[in-house]
Structures are given as C-alpha cells and as structure tokens.
Structure 1
Amino acid sequence: MSRPLSLRSATAGDMSWIHELRHRVYAEELGQHVPNAEGRLVDGLDGDNIYLVATRCADRVGFVSVTPPWVGRYGLDKYLTREELPLLDEADVFEVRLLTVEPDARAGAAGALLMYAALRWIASRGGRRVVAMGRTDLVGMYRAAGLRPVGRAVRSGAVDYEVLTGEVAELSRSAAGRHAVTLARLAADVDWRLDAPFAPRPDGCEHGGASFAAVGADFRTLERRHEVVAADVLDAWFPPAPGARAVLAEDAGWLARTSPPTGAEGLLAELAPVRGLPQEALAVGAGSSDLIFRAFGRWLTPASRVLLMDPGYGEYAHVTERVIGCRVDRFRLRREEGWRIDPARLSAAVAAGSYDLVVVVNPNNPTGHHAPAAELRAVITAAPARTRWWIDEAYLGYVDPAESLAPFAARDSRVVVCTSMSKTYALSGVRAAYLVAEPPTAAELRRWTPPWALGLPAQLAAVAALRDPAYYTSVLRRTHELRRRLASDLAAVDASVTVEESVANFLTLTLPPGELSAASLVAECRRHGVYLRDLSPLSSSYEGRTVRVAVRDTGENARIVDAYRTALGELRANSLAVSGLGAAQ
C-alpha cells in the first residue's frame, strides 16, 4: 500500500532541499544550467516566491513555485521584455515556475497535485490569470491542464520552453470537469495542509458568511447563534426599529399565511416622499442581489463590456463574469492612495474603454472608502453617452443621505442607484431593497419583476423602518463609536498589523508581509467561535494579508479582540515550531 501524499507550504528548512533538487534536475539532468561545485541552484526570486511542497511521510517528493504580482517582477523577465510579453503588465497575473518532482516519484500523482495546489493557492489570493514556462516536450501535459501557448518560445541552456497562459476561472472549471476523477482521488488520499481550500465553492462566489454554517443551515440548532460572533457578514449589530419589530411579532400566523400587495405598492408609496423622489422612478426587490440579477440579466450579454472597481463587492464580478459571461475589466484602487477613486483616472479609463456598464459601490465594500457625490457626478456627466452607471449605495446611510446620487439617477437615463435596506435598517433577514432610475428604466424593471417579489414581512418591516428615522440616526451614530473603539482595541494587540477604519460598519486588518496569511488568521479565529472575512479571493491587491471585521455590539467586539489576540499568538508559535521542524529535517 502506497504512503499518502501531503501538500503544504514550504518552510525555511525546505529551501536547502529545493536548491539541491533544482541542481540535480536543471543542471545535471536537463542541462539548463552549468553544474556547480556546491550542487545547489538558487534563484533571484527565492526571497519573494511562494513554494508549495509535496511529501510522503517525512520524504519531500516535489515542489512548485508561484510568483505573485505584488513582487513586481517575474522569472520570465529574464527571457522576454514586457513589449514582447505584455500580459505581464496586466493585473492579477501569477507566474507558476519550476514544477519539479524527484525522479522516483514522477510516475505518481505528485506532479498533478502540485499543479492543482498552485492553482488553488492563486485563486485564494485573487489571481485571475496564470503564466508559465512549459518545457516544449511536455506542452501536451500543460494543454491537458487547460493552459495554452501564447506564441512565444524561449531557450534556457539546452532546454526549449513555450510560454503558456490560462484564466484561473477556466482552469478551475477544466479541473472540476475534465479531471474530476483525478481530483476526487486526490481529495480522498492527500493530506491537504494549505490555507487555501481544496475545492472552490460550487458557484465561485461567497454569498453571505460562513458563520451561518456554524449555527446550522438546517435551522435545528439556532441556539448556537449565541456562541458564534458573525463578524464575517455586514449585518447590523442592532435590531430594526421598534415599530418594525412590533409589526413582525404582532401576528406571525397572519403574516405567514397572507399574500402581500403584489407590487409592494405601499412600500413604494412610503419610499417616494421619504427620499424626495417620484414614485415612478422606483423599483423594489428582495435585497440588492435580486435587483442586480434582474437588471444585469436584462441589460448585458456575453458581448457586453463592464468596468468594476477592484477591490469591490464580489457579487458584481460573479454576475457579470460567471453568470452572464461579460468581458470585464477592473479599475484598480490603490492602497497607497487610501483606496480612493481618482476621478481623473476613472474618467480616462471610461473614455478609453467603450463600456456598456460601470459599477461603483459607494461607500465601497470592502475598502470602506466613500467617493464624494460631486466627484462621481462630474465623472458620469463627462462619460460617453452609451455607458450606463450602476451606483450601489448600500452603506451610504453611514455617511450622509445627502450624498446620494438617487435624484441624479431619477432624471438621467444612464444612471441607476441601488440601495439595500439590509445594512443600515437591520433588515438583512427579510430582504428589502430598491433602485432609482429614470422612470422608463424603472418601469421596464418593474415589468420584469415577478408578482410578490417581497413577502409581507419584508414590506411591513421596511415601511415601519422608514417611519422611524430618529431611531436609525441614533444606532448609526453608536456604530461609529463602536467601530472606533474596536479599531483602537485591535490596534493595541499588535503594532505590526495595520488597522484601517471604514466609513461604515466594518474595518480591516492587514498582516505584515512575509508572515501569516489572512486565511490562517480567519481559520484560527473560527476555532474560538469568531468568524471574520478573508478578503484575499476578492483581489490580489490584498496580497493574501487582509481580513475584514464587522462591527458588533460591545460584548461581541470584546470577543473579537480576545480571539484575535489568541489566534495571533497561537499562529506565531505554530509557525516557529514548523520552521524548527523543517530546519531539523
């Protein structure tokens, strides 16, 4: 019986073996490099690369190297200029290099495991494209994995290579389809120790949070909700207004059995005067996702071009890329600029892009930055007439309702404003949202809205919430106080971790480079009943190091701080132990 394979990230103790195996394979076996007396081959990117190692028990059998885009250079730069290979200048490109297996393990599954592990690690860090050098004599193997030649060949010593590339989403689909049997065998037999999950989510998008899985999606163990801190979702820490709670509790039997107004007419009539908008400019939906799917499905096709902010709310990438199949570009927000939207840079990108749709979440989730309404209005006004704008204002209540672009949208056919009532009205569970558009656009979407899109509890609770602005002014003010206190308490735990406050009900923690990953911190906090959100899959801009934390009440915030402190200590102790073991081996 063969010994099972293990797959893990390399430790410092693995590097000597990696250098020695490189020399045996690339210098002595293949003649790519001149053999040297030390019997070791080092690489200029060793300090920046990520190495994944396959082992059988204590024996190392192979490794693969990944160069992430935040390094700023690639191994291919030694062979081709950026003019010759411009895809290296694109965002979210990860280079896979040096897939190397010990000679006596090449007939086994180690090579396939390492290739798949590299793909999963890249996807978990927001990668969207892979580039690699594949030996010409092995191009068939790489093609079978889903990679394709770009028409560039390079020679290194006695070895010829093809430059290959592939989209991460396509490679993942290929692996799950064409290689499903192999993956099932690996899943059963391999000891998977990466901080990236072995398999992607079935729909490729994390809706909501993992915390409800801990409570129990079958609803038989709802009492567990008192044991879990759900700081991975941005639901309100406070209950809805007293009037909303009262109407939901008054006659649950009547609410459950009674059909609501077909088109939520009462909610529309309440919204219009509260927002100072014509009723004919409104359309309602069962949460913003309902409106996104309905509107985008009407407006967009696989031929449509869409511009998304990056980092940005993952639902938009999911719908445009994976559901509809649009051609999607990303407008990269920059950490060094405080994640702000530079209006001049955005205007230039939109003018050059011939986009059918531009999506702006404002305030942005997950960066937490708000772009002034005047700046966005000026960018939209100057944009090409053919470009439609979708402005998501789910978190605007935490800033200032006067900053809304809804009045602009009600009279400009190019602009739609979407507003969820989940976050600032504490109505995530009943699902209520609305959009504002020029009346003909709103009427079109109302025609494509099925009857009873909002249940009676949602309609009644939303109307009652709109009637109590004083309550929400109070709890939103309290949210800012809780966020500031939570940020201060988290910052006091470890000065090497960067704490960034948002303008809304969350903040982010960014770990120092070259140490722990966001995924490992999230996993360790879950062991203590605290659920946070790893932002790494959303964008490579986060470099696998940033975690989002939702603001909860005082008691739960204290649990977040305690779990975070404990998790950091445990992870660092484990890291030292693993490094020591690797060095001993």
Structure 2
Amino acid sequence: MGRDLQVRVATPEDFEWIHELRHRVYAAELGQHPPDPAGRLRDGLDDGGNVYLVAARGPARIGFVSLTPPWSGRYALDKYLTRDELPLLTDEDPFEVRILTVEPRWRATAAAPLLMYAALRWTAARGGRRVVAMGRAELLDMYLAVGLRPVGRTVHSGAVTFEVLTGEVIELTRRARERYGAALERLRSAVDWRLDMSFAPRPDGCEHGGASFTAIGTDFRTLHRREQVVAADVLDAWFPPAPGVRAALAEDPAWAARTSPPSGAEGLLAEIATARSLPMETLAVGAGSSDLIFRAFGQWLTPGSRVLLTDPCYGEYAHVTERVIGCRVDRFRLRREDGWRIDPDRLSAAVGSGRYDLVVVVNPNNPTGRHAPAAELRSAIAAAPAGTRWWIDEAYLGYVDPAESLAELAATDPRVVVCTSLSKMYALSGLRAAYLVAEPSTAAELRRRTPPWPVGLPAQLAAVAALRDPEHYRDRWRRTHELRRQLATALAGLDEDLAVEESVANFLTVTLPPDGPSAAELVAECRRHDVYLRDLSPLSPRYQGRTVRIAVRDTAENARIVAAWGAALEALRSGSGSGSGSRTGSASRVETPAVAAVAAVGSV
C-alpha cells in the first residue's frame, strides 16, 4: 500500500463508488444479486441505518466495510430470519458487520484486515459487546480463526450461501491483539487513522475518565497545569473539603506521611458508625469503592456466576465481572424514553427467575444521573429469591438525601450490601476512602480478607474530620444543584438541538443530534481549549455515540466549559475542527499471515 493510506467514516462523496463496487462484486462477480442496468447496488439500510468505514490510498478508494448499529432498529439479517429464529438480534443488542468489500487489485494486501479491525474498534467505541455477521460458507475456517462462531443458522442469497456468525467484542479484541499484534502495531504507526476513537484500546480494557490528568502530567513535573485545565471528565467535587479536613492534613504533614495508620482503621470505622447510626461490626473500609468492589466480588463470584447490571452503568462493574472474573453478565436495559428510570416491576420480573448470583444497582446511577426511590428498591429486593445478593452503590446519595440509603437494610439482610465512597461527596477523591455496610458475618469475612493498613493515615484523618462536619457538606451539595442548573441552562442556550439532561448529582449529560458531530469528536475538540469532558459512548450502545457527561465545576470553570463547547461546535460544523482521530503518519505496504484469506471478499 502507498504512503497515504487512511481509514475514515464514509463521506457523501464515497457512496457512488460504494454502490458501484458493490454491484461489481455482489452482482457481477458472485451472483448474489441480479445485475442492475445502472451498475449500482444500493442497500435498504443505507437510509439512516448503515455506517460505512472506507480505506483509501490518496484519492483512490480501495475498500469498505458496513456496520449496522442496534439503535437503527433493524438488521440485514431480518430479511432472512425472524427474531424468534435469531433471538440474539433482540436479546444481545449486537452490531451487524457486513459486506467487507475490497477492490480486486488490493485483495492481497492488509486492506481487509485493517477494515475488519476498524469495524471492531468502532463497535467497541460505541459500547458494543457483540457482533453478528453473515459469512460465506466456503470461508468459514477464516471466520473461526478470527474468533467468530456459527449460531447454527444458514441463509441463502442468490448463488451464495452464508453462515450466521457471532462473537463477543472482548474476545474478538483479545484474539486480534494476540494473533495479529505485531502486524497491528506496524499498522498503528503507518496508517492515517481518521476514526473518532484510538487505534488500540486501553491495556486493561476498562474505559475511565481522568484523561485530564494526562494534560496536567502524570509524572507530576508540570502540576502548575492544574490551574489551566478544567477537569470535568471525572466527578471530583468542585469544592474543597471542610475546614477541619484541611486543618487535620496541615497540622503535621511530615508525621502523617511517615507514620503507619491504625492497622484496621478502627477510628474511621467508629466515626462512620456514629455518623450513620450503624453497628460498627456491619462495616468494612477500603481505599475507595473500587478497592471494595474488587475485594468483595473476587470473594463472592466465579466464572460460573451470573450477574445482572443496569445498562448504562458505572463501567468498573462490567470490567470486574466480565473481564477480571469472567462471569456471565446480563444487562437490565434502561431507556432514554423512560427517563432512564429503573422500573421496579420490570426489575423484579428480571430477577425473579432466580438465575442471578448478584444484582448491581448504582443509586443514584452514574452515568444516567437518576435516583430510584428507596421504597421501590426495597420492594424489589423483598420479592427477589433468597439466593440473589444485591450490591447497592450509593456513592452520590448525599446529593439526594442520606435518608434514602439502604444501609439500615444492608446491616440486617444478608442478601444486601451497600457501598459508599467518601471521595465524591466529601471532596476526598485524592485520598481514597470508602466503606460498605453488610450484615455482621458478611462484613467480618470481608474484614478478614482485608490487608492491614487498608486506608492511609492522611485519608483516615481527613475522612474522620469530614464526617464530623455534615453542615459544611450539606451547604456544598445545595450549591452544587444551583451550579448544575446554571450550567444546564447555559449549554441548552448554545443550540436548540442539544438534549441537556440534568442529574440529581454533580454532573449532567448532553446528547448531540444524529446529524452532528459524534461525542468523541466534540470531546476531542474541547480539549484544544484545555476543557476535559467524558464521552459516554464506550459505556453503552444506549448512548449511540452521541452523549457527553460533564462534571459540575465552580462558576468560572463552568463558564469555560460553555465557551469551549460553543467553540467546538462551531469548529466541527465548519470543518476546521481537529476531531479525535489520531493521524499517526504515513502508511506502507503491510502484509500479515493469512492476509490472502482474510482479504477475500465476503459478506462479513
């Protein structure tokens, strides 16, 4: 391949060539469709359904692949099979990958593998967890080699026979990196990658916020940059901790740094018990809620466990259950048209089968920002089978009402555990302190599995002081609601096509219109102004690649967010924006093992 190979989303100018190449291959070459006098083969899903990724060398287009996302509401496979015959189209929200097509002269190059990999990355960046495809029967071994597997259905289209195939995005990504890692690294440094996601996923496969710290400097040599960067991609508090916290940290920092803390955080446990009116034996502490999640889930769950997560949901839960432990995970889908509300009756029906070992509910939910009333959750838990454990994450409950906590229930019901971070509500994210509430035997077992000194001395000092000043935080939480409303009003005023949704906590979400820039493009453009926001696309296909989460900051930083958003919209609509695709230099001809097989034209 030449030095100017690029991969991009198809532009309107590409479609004449796409339809002409499809006709040459699928009508003339393969006999899958009857010839058209105009020499064009169009697709019924092109009108609002399909997305095409194109590989080009300079002005010459050399291949494309088509994707149909689940939010289009229909698939090409619907022409051949009913949803009863292929329930995964309804149950799994798959992305359909189709019609990988390469110009004949480029079929012996890496064009087809590159397009397949691009389709996988595009799918993952939109929260896709499964793909479905039709693969030509004579190429089945090739599809098996890349990780796809037959579902037991065969379809016929003209003279061509296809196997229906599926694969999990996690597994397909792992296999691609393991089998073709060296070739992909050569491509990474060679291809002009113009898609709105990175070429490679994070090493741990879990998407987090916090990219703003890369702008400040993770080696801590340029910490002055913190004054220039608006870190609205993480949900840290905009306000400082209580005066007593700052006094405790400042009194003797040298002593606090060099001194081992109480080994079991006894004083912190006692303060939590007092502040929350809970028996001390029902508590366990950790260095942030993620510490408690990893520790508890690692004890309770195995690869044979089945877990129910809401969708969308805080990404750490899917990461731990699916990728670290390897559980079977099902999703309880929340819907924008329902206001992202958890319907307690629908939840009870989903859990009532008794097949779940664990149900996770983040309440208020991050990232939807909705709160499920405690009474509704209590009813759902009461109706659930005895063998189902519930994990209730209340990291943001202070922004609603501490009286809505299920901690009292968790202290007595062995099926319920409540986890609460002190990071977000108490402005202690940098110190890492959290606790969970469980009936005494469950809490005792977790404490036994906790290493000594689980929370550092500065964090223990700060957390104790914070819990002793509830009025300071109540005032800050009230002010957060005011700032959020002001930010929402200002963002909505930029463009009537923006859908601004306030949460009950310290963030809001903004959804871009379907015909506008993607969330990833908008987020990347805002970074040019040192404003960091969170693209929610990787968390769930519910967001359709168009929703951004914004943490509430103080008045001045909120004004910078609004200004950066407006400038980014203007730049992207005028075509002057940078986008988020990483243009990583020139391309060279790259061959891979099995290129001849993978590059063969098929309806993948």
TM-score with structure 2 length normalisation? 0.94
- How many residues align structurally? 578
In the TM superposition, what is the alpha-carbon distance from 1:353 to its structure 2 partner?
A: 4.7
Contact 1:96-1:131 at 8 Å conserved across structures: yes
The SS at the match of 2:563 is helix
Distance, in Å, in 2 between the alignment partners of 1:215 and 1:167 is 36
1:3 to 1:338, Cα distance in 2 relative to 1, 3 A: same
- 1:215 to 2:216 alignment: yes
- Which position in structure 2 is the counterpart of 1:34? 34
Q: Where in structure 2 are there 5+ consecutive unaligned residues? A: 580-604
Distance, in Å, in 2 between the alignment partners of 1:436 and 1:22 is 60
1:91 to 1:149, Cα distance in 2 relative to 1, 3 A: closer
- Which position in structure 2 is the counterpart of 1:242? 243
- 1:372 to 2:377 alignment: no
- 1:421 to 2:418 alignment: no
Distance, in Å, in 2 between the alignment partners of 1:89 and 1:564 is 36
Deviation by residue 1:382-441 (Cα, 9 ceiling, x = unmatched):
100000000000000000000000001101111000000001100000000000110111
- Which position in structure 2 is the counterpart of 1:25? 25
- Which position in structure 2 is the counterpart of 1:581? none
1:2 to 1:286, Cα distance in 2 relative to 1, 3 A: same
In the TM superposition, what is the alpha-carbon distance from 1:92 to its structure 2 partner?
A: 2.7
1:403 to 1:577, Cα distance in 2 relative to 1, 3 A: closer
Distance, in Å, in 2 between the alignment partners of 1:353 and 1:110 is 48
Distance, in Å, in 2 between the alignment partners of 1:522 and 1:450 is 39
In the TM superposition, what is the alpha-carbon distance from 1:84 to its structure 2 partner?
A: 1.7
5 Å-filtered alignment, 1:511-526, equals 511-526=512-527
1:21 partner amino acid: L
- Which position in structure 2 is the counterpart of 1:279? 280
In the TM superposition, what is the alpha-carbon distance from 1:576 to its structure 2 partner?
A: 11
Distance, in Å, in 1 between the alignment partners of 2:344 and 2:369 is 17
Deviation by residue 1:10-31 (Cα, 9 ceiling, x = unmatched):
0111111101111111111111
1:498 partner amino acid: A
- 1:291 to 2:292 alignment: yes
- 1:268 to 2:269 alignment: yes
- Which position in structure 2 is the counterpart of 1:140? 141
- Which position in structure 2 is the counterpart of 1:121? 122
- 1:561 to 2:553 alignment: no
Q: CA RMSD in A?
A: 1.3
1:14 to 1:2, Cα distance in 2 relative to 1, 3 A: closer
TM-score with structure 1 length normalisation? 0.97
In the TM superposition, what is the alpha-carbon distance from 1:282 to its structure 2 partner?
A: 0.7
5 Å-filtered alignment, 1:90-489, equals 90-489=91-490
Deviation by residue 1:316-342 (Cα, 9 ceiling, x = unmatched):
000000000011101001110000000
In the TM superposition, what is the alpha-carbon distance from 1:3 to its structure 2 partner?
A: 3.1
1:518 to 1:226, Cα distance in 2 relative to 1, 3 A: same
- Which position in structure 1 is the counterpart of 2:493? 492
- Which position in structure 1 is the counterpart of 2:550? 549
Contact 2:354-2:388 at 8 Å conserved across structures: no
In the TM superposition, what is the alpha-carbon distance from 1:207 to its structure 2 partner?
A: 3.4
1:444 to 1:577, Cα distance in 2 relative to 1, 3 A: closer
Deviation by residue 1:526-580 (Cα, 9 ceiling, x = unmatched):
11100000001100000001000000001100000000000001111118999xx
- Which position in structure 1 is the counterpart of 2:583? none
Contact 1:286-1:454 at 8 Å conserved across structures: yes
In the TM superposition, what is the alpha-carbon distance from 1:516 to its structure 2 partner?
A: 1.4
- Which position in structure 1 is the counterpart of 2:602? none
1:200 partner amino acid: P
The SS at the match of 2:31 is coil
Distance, in Å, in 2 between the alignment partners of 1:139 and 1:196 is 30
2:39 partner amino acid: G
Higher RCO (Cα < 8 Å, 6 or more apart): 2
Distance, in Å, in 1 between the alignment partners of 2:345 and 2:171 is 34
The SS at the match of 2:298 is helix
Contact 1:69-1:91 at 8 Å conserved across structures: no
Contact 2:400-2:505 at 8 Å conserved across structures: yes
| Runs of 4+ displaced beyond 4 Å | 575-578
- Which position in structure 1 is the counterpart of 2:10? 10
Distance, in Å, in 2 between the alignment partners of 1:208 and 1:232 is 5
Distance, in Å, in 2 between the alignment partners of 1:455 and 1:3 is 53
1:32 partner amino acid: Q
Q: Where in structure 1 are there 5+ consecutive unaligned residues? A: 579-585
Contact 1:5-1:110 at 8 Å conserved across structures: no
Contact 1:230-1:530 at 8 Å conserved across structures: yes
